[in-house]
Amino acid sequence: MPDAPTPPPAPPSEPSLDFTSQLKVPMAEALRHVAVRDGFMDGVLNDPRIPTIFTDWMEAFTKAEKDSTASLWSNLERIARASVERAVRSDLNIPWPWVGEELLGSYLVTMKAYLDGPRDGRVQVQRRPWRPAVQAPPLSLTLETLPGETLEHLTARLEGLAAALTDFVARAKRARRRRRPSKKVALRRRWGRWYYERHVRRPRRSISDLARALHQAKAEAGEAQHAGAFVDECDCRKAVKRGLREAGRLLDLPRQERPHGGVGEKGAG
């Protein structure tokens, strides 16, 4: 008995018309991350351990160039990965992989300055110019006709996509306008520097020490409520604690991203 013909596919019963663009993190959060990250990396790249780390990298890369047992580029890639991971995880005890990218960028700028200079063995750590910009979020636009789909339904999906794109462009323009320097940017950069001082610097600075420095800065700025001597009850202590908490959350954002959007479970930090 011949096989029965395969019936045509039925149109989807409840197809999704939601084309809302999903950023891995909201643009406003990404902007906050950029500011905190800048203050944090300013501390990291001024850490006295960095020149030694960069010198070790330079020696390892030089040795790799002389090793004829393997491809030069495979050697450099292998050594770079191992060196960066060791510096971030072990030497500096930082949990975020993106710090490795920052260190490599700084290393390349530093080595260029070193090679163009007197080459006297002293490494002066350089930093790539900071630009308060946000990387474009992952965005993939595909639209295919569904099996058995009607023209009416396809039109509705196209209208949903057009509306989502209009919303995305509007949000991107608003984010660009918010990039202008502000007091909030300076505050978040301070949070990032505090996080370095508290969790990465050796020796670490205590919350009381950071609060005392903040109190003094506010007194020098003429804030009357900070004119007297620092005491433990000063609200600067609360400000430091809040700044450290927010800095840790914002610095951890890239590691919280889910592959398809949304913010996943928070990692350590």
Contact in structure between 269 and 255 (CB atoms under 8 Å): yes
Q: Is 165 helix (H, G, I), strand (E, B) or coil?
A: helix
Cα–Cα dist 139/255, whole Å: 18
Q: How many CB atoms lie within 10 A of CB 200?
A: 17
**In sequence order, which residues have a C-beta less than 8 Å from that of residue 150 and are 6 or more positions away?**
11
pLDDT for 225: 79
Chain length of the chain:
269
- Residues 215-225, mean pLDDT to the nearest whole number: 85
Q: Where along the chain do its domains lie?
A: 47-116, 183-254
The pTM is what?
0.67
List pLDDT tens digits, range 77-107.
677 778 888 899 999 999 998 898 889 888 8
Cα–Cα dist 37/131, whole Å: 12
Report the Cα 239 to chain-centroid distance in Å.
Answer: 23
Cα–Cα dist 192/240, whole Å: 11
pLDDT for 21: 37
List pLDDT tens digits, range 145-183.
889 999 999 999 888 888 888 888 887 777 666 555 578
